[in-house]
Amino acid sequence: MNSTSETPRVHRAFIALGSNVGDRVEMIEKACLELDKANIKVKRTSSLFETTPMYVLDQGTFINGVCEVETNLSPMELLDKLQAIENELGRMKLIDKGPRSIDLDILLYDQEIFSHERLNVPHNLMLERDFVLRPLCQLIPHERPPKSGKNANTYSDYLKALPPPEPTPYSTTPISPHFPSLYATDPKRPTHVMAILNLTPDSFSDGGTHSPTDFTQLTETVRSFIAKGATIIDVGGESTRPGSIPVGAEEEISRVVPAIQHIRQNIPEASNIAISIDTYRAAVAEAACNAGADIINDVSAGLLDPEMLPTAARLGKSIILMHMRGTPQTMTQLTDYPNGVIPEVSAELRNRVAAAESAGIRRWRIILDPGLGFAKHQPQDLEILRELSTLRMTEGLECLPWLMGPSRKRFIGNITGVKTAKDRVWGTAATVSASVSGGADIVRVHDVQEMSHVAKVADAIYRV
């Protein structure tokens, strides 16, 4: 085989992403799309971090992150392409290390050391910059700088050796332009209350309560949710309770899309709340997002519909990946965790995060849910509530926001002896408080007013 027909070598590179002008997250997401278009394949991304500027201090805060890419380009070709993307996106650099709408810097290229008057790899200043090492350590914490030897410091070692930045950078999960980002590592963040709006006749607790065709009642319900403290409304068109019967995408769409359109077009009070679509079907998620939903809430984390993760990536929406095994019909038989529920749930969620990233979903668009009651029995649900902080800090899951959905669940009824789901308010209150203590960012509830009060008091106790 001659050299002209050889397959070009694929190189692994790490690129720093930064912006502090305009819609910073949107600019970084546009840059990632342009990288993909240029055949610089974005394989993984870090979280995004809100960071204060270094060097030139009189400028706005940055959003910073890192992405891992695969490319056939040489270091100089890659640099030229990155600078072309910066220019295409309207970057203007008036002051060195000053404000910029987009900043794309090559940090690492394979394990090479490369020096040119325009480019040095590894990046000259990367080991002194928290805003570079913090996101890089989400991707390759245990790797070492090129040619440094097997006993040299890892990137994680270098990060730990830096003086703690002040203020601490917080991970940033964007939801929509009209809704505040989630800051999962901010110890003072408020807990969001997600109100459950099931437009189903057969949900375990509130089936038949909310009609998908009675818009007068829907308006009253949504206004009531908001007045009582809900900041997110989770709209569902198919029950996923144990043993539930699937209804099909067309029926599900017919239930949820008119309701979402009505909320967005006819309820002014809802202009600043987020809407999530509770579905495991890609077609339903897309129709709902086109109607005005901001978040996809998938109980299967993309396992029940192979099109879900690619669809979420294409739509650019944030997605809740919940831990479940099997289907709603089979999950109650899949509760064996021989290595422990926390290690196995965390490992299976890491796999779903990896699958989401492989589909093109950015890490900063991912929210996790350990799936209380889904392929878990009572002791396991209680252990998750008890050990949520451990789950959150598991390597590979750190800095991501978490949703907890304990509301009126069966294990609460088993403990309290309350057989009717809607009467499990007091037991639910205890689980919501435990969720906040463990670090949940969102609690998904039926009893909005009561749980809003619980969340506020729990925030006052634990979020300091």
What residues act catalytically?
A: 409, 444
CA distances from 175 to 102, 145, 263, 360 (A): 20, 35, 17, 17
CA distances from 249 to 259, 304, 391, 418 (A): 16, 13, 33, 34
Distance (Å, rounded) from C-alpha 373 to C-alpha 208? Answer: 22
| Strands (E) located in 93-182 | 103-109, 114-116, 119-121, 170-172
Instruction: Provide φ and ψ at 128, rounded to 5°.
Output: -105, 0
Residues β-bridged to residue 19: 63
All residues at 6 or more sequence positions from 119 whose CB lies less than 8 Å from its CB, including other chains: 75, 76, 79, 106
CB atoms within 10 A of CB 226: 18
Question: Would you tell me the crossing angle of helices 215-227 and 249-266 to the nearest 10 degrees?
Answer: 60
Is residue 408 exposed (0-12), middle (13-18) or buried (19+ Cβ within 10 Å)? buried
Is residue 339 exposed (0-12), middle (13-18) or buried (19+ Cβ within 10 Å)? exposed
The total number of residues shown for the chain amounts to 464
The pair of structure tokens assigned to 423 is: 């009467």
Identify which of 451, 416, 408 has the alpha carbon closest to the alpha carbon of residue 433: 451
198: three-class secondary structure by DSSP: strand
Q: How far apart are the first and last CA of the chain?
A: 66
The pair of structure tokens assigned to 380 is: 């396991």
Distance (Å, rounded) from C-alpha 34 to C-alpha 28? Answer: 10
CA atoms within 13 A on the CB side of 175: 26
